[in-house]
Amino acid sequence: MGTPFDYFGAKAGINHEDSLLRVGALTREQINNRHILRNAMRQAGFYPIEGEWWHFNACSLSEAKERYLLIE
């Protein structure tokens, strides 16, 4: 995947994978593995977080605010 789980640096993002590949920060295999994960998670109804290859949500923030009460 190119970074450890819960890594928050630039390499964790999914928006610049092509440029990270060009400079050698990620390999083609790492990017392909990320795509496999994203496709599987999307098919299961989850949404990727652009800044973290390992982070997915089950709904949007606005939908969560509508559907769930905030517990303090």
For the four alpha carbons of 15, 41, 27 and 5, in that order, the dihedral sign comes to positive
Please tell me the predicted confidence (pLDDT) of residue 67.
92
- Does this model's pTM top 0.85? My answer is no
Sequence-ordered strand ranges (E) for 1-72: 47-49, 52-57
Closest CA to 60 of 47, 70, 42, 50: 47
CA–CA distance, 36 with 6 (Å, rounded to integer): 19
Query: Residues 8-62: pLDDT tens digits?
Result: 999 999 999 999 999 999 999 999 999 999 999 999 999 999 899 999 999 988 9
